Amino acid sequence: MSVSYYSSSFSKIGLGYNFNDRLWSELRLYSYTSLLDITPEIVVCYNIVKKENHNVYLGFGANINYYTGFVLPVGVQFTPIEKFDRFTLHIEFQPTLDFMQGDIIMQSSWGIRYRF
């Protein structure tokens, strides 16, 4: 299990689960929206590069409400301090295909993750 925070124009918080060293999933909730616009997002990601101090991942998922469509997260997670290997920083780029608006939205974020 893990918790994460993504900082961007629409910040997100996430609750994740690692199935193994390569495959993981995360339920994310967008913040900075009204109660009517609470937007859940679920993604499944795969670590295409798995090293001791960093991972490169890509994934697929969907969200509904403020944005409604598919998402394709691509990111890097890295461990800045070896002694605290449960704590990682991440940078993510996420194209989002919004069905309601018919747009492709390019999101990017940085954040932190803690694995239990």
Whose tokens are 């697929």? That residue is 60
Give the chain's end-to-end CA distance (angstroms, integer): 6
Q: 39 with 33: CB under 8 angstroms?
A: yes
**Token output for 47:** 């670590």
Compute CA 111 distance to the chain's CA centroid, rounded to the nearest angstrom.
9
User: Residue 69: left (phi > 0), alpha (psi -120 to 50), or beta?
Assistant: left
pLDDT at 33: 65
Residue carrying the six token digits 């704590």: 87
User: What pLDDT sits at residue 7?
Assistant: 92
Q: For each of the chain's 116 residues, which pLDDT tens digit applies? A: 999 999 987 789 999 999 999 999 999 998 766 777 788 999 999 999 999 899 999 999 999 988 899 999 999 999 998 888 899 999 999 999 998 888 999 999 999 999 99
Is 35 in a helix, a strand, or coil? helix
What token pair was written down for 11?
A: 């910040």
